[in-house]
Structure 1
Amino acid sequence: MGKSKKQVREFNAAKEAVEATKAQLNTCNDAYTSGAFKYLRFLVHLLAAAQFSYGIYFHYFRVHWPTDLLDEDELKARWGGKFKYLTFLDVILQAIYHSLALLNDLFGDNNVSGDSKSMLRSVRDYVFAAFAFPVAHNVCLSFWVIYVWDRELIFPSALDAIFPSWLNHVVHTNVALLAIMDLFTCFRRYPSRLAGITGNVSFILLYIIWLHIVRYFSGEWVYPILEVLPAYLRYVFLALLVGFNLVCYLLGEFANNVVWGPEFKLLNQQKLKQG
């Protein structure tokens, strides 16, 4: 039994809609993976990877505590070295992330349409979502809020003589700014909420455990603010650190959905029409 004219019209209309959606996606994909946008994304990752790598080198090898600023008790606080600071761990994380993103630009894919089969891209997207974006904003916002309130609690003025201003901005400001630039230049699908939050919370909880290990062996808290707070407020502060890191994760997920909303809408339309 042949199809009615109405069924034929509906079939042709559905086919045309699928083709139109596919054409829109191809246009988005071509604009995103070639031309100026491609080079902008590559430049962001190249400059970020180079900047953070140099920041790690300078921070670790060229920034030294003057011996005349330290007494015997303060010397104990050097247990764990610079790896006890979330700022230093974060700049390492940012260097790793942007290096992964740079490798993906060279050897992986940045396609908008379809599901990526690049392992580099999958790892890049998860590291950004669970770690790089939320930790960068946690470090940036918490540092500058406490700095404005009372800088001696987070970055004593004695450090000005040994910690260059440009390095301070690399590790406390640029980490967040470059994460935002990456958000606008890299199309990505966030992991499932459970997978992303599990990685995010696990990272910050492991850091808090590390803080307590340093405290146990050195006899000093890493940050002066933890010394001046009474015990109950200290753990309120650490709980807020976990909570704020989670908020930064959700903020990144929300921002990604807003920035890439039109592309997600086209992909969903394509799936519905093909299904």
Structure 2
Amino acid sequence: FSHSPCQICTDILTCAYLCTCPLPSGWCFHCSIIFLPAQVIQAVFFGICVLTDLSSLLTKGNDSQEQERQLKKLISLRDWMMAVLAFPIGVFVVTMFWSIYIYDRELVYPKLLDNFIPAWLNHGMHTTVLPFILIEMRTTHHQYPSRSCGLAAVCTFAVGYILWVCWIHHVTGVWVYPLLEYLSPGVKIIFFAAVTIIINIFYLLGEVLNNYIWDTQK
């Protein structure tokens, strides 16, 4: 379980960046619903990466089987989060957000939010996620779960998040993503299904990319 200094520093800096990214004054409930889930996933994931790196260093040269067993559990959790949440959700957030933003920003990020969220923080939420996760994939080999289990977990998360968005609308009467205001109920179902499929595709992309990077180095 050796880890290079570059890899450890990358994990620590990424985790610190995500955890200390401040919420601007005027931050509202609507904004937090939009941004926090993806940020929490990335912050928790890179926090686990840092914990794994440090645990690996502390147990290096140690013959304790219990510590070795705990480290393996931590690595398994890190790899599972990378495969199921960090990579597919991170890539989805970046690609979907900027695609819709370029088409019509009012559908996903109304200009009104510029009064509360500075441009650098917007990029912190919707741009830097991608390079961070690609660096992690390039510097660390991750063991993906079986494809059926991985896809099932991704679908579970996607459906859970969609239900949460619908619940927020039921309680507040507001869709946290303005795009949904313009869709009929039938089109919303198609849209949610398409989102779930896209996230699954990104899961498969991550699996292929991970295998390509590390198989070619064997």
2:54 equivalent in structure 1: 106
Match of 2:41 in 1: 93
Contact 1:146–1:154 (8 Å) recurs in 2: yes
Residue of structure 1 equivalent to 2:191? 237
Task: Tell me the distance in 2 between the aligned counterparts of 1:242 and 1:160.
Answer: 29
Q: 1:51 aligns with which of 7, 10, 17?
A: 17
The code of the aligned residue for 1:208 comes to I
Dislocated runs of 4+, deviation >4 Å? none
Q: Which amino acid aligns with 1:50?
A: A
Task: Give 1:238 shift.
Answer: 1.1
Give TM-score scaled by structure 2 length: 0.89
CA–CA separation in structure 2 for the residues paired with 1:206 and 1:190: 22
Give the superposition deviation at 1:207.
Answer: 0.4
Deviation (angstroms), 1:231:
1.9
Partner of 1:41: 7
Is 2:105 aligned against 1:151? yes
1-structure distance, mates of 2:146, 2:193: 24
Report the more deviating stretch, 190-199 or 143-152: 190-199
Q: CA deviation at 1:164?
A: 1.0
Q: 5+ unaligned residues in a row in structure 1: which ranges?
A: 1-28, 67-77, 267-275
Which has the larger Rg? Answer: 1
CA contact (8 A) 1:84 1:210 kept: no
What's the CA shift string for 1:131-165, capped at 9, x where partnerless?
11000011110000000000011111121122011
| Map 1:1-275 → 2, pairs under 5 A | 33=2, 38-55=4-21, 58-59=22-23, 62-64=24-26, 78=29, 82=31, 84-85=33-34, 87-108=35-56, 117=69, 118-263=72-217, 266=218
Secondary structure at 2:163's aligned position in 1?
helix
TM-score in terms of structure 1 length: 0.71
Count residues in correspondence: 208
Distance in 2 (alpha carbons) for counterparts of 1:167 and 1:101: 23
Distance in 2, Cα, partners of 1:224 & 1:128 = 29
Read off the aligned partner of 2:12 and give its amino acid letter: L
Two-structure CA RMSD over aligned residues (Å): 2.1
Aligned mates of 1:190, 1:197 — CA distance in 2: 11
Distance across 1 between alignment mates of 2:216 and 2:99: 34
Q: Give the Cα separation in 1 of the matches to 2:106 and 2:14.
A: 29
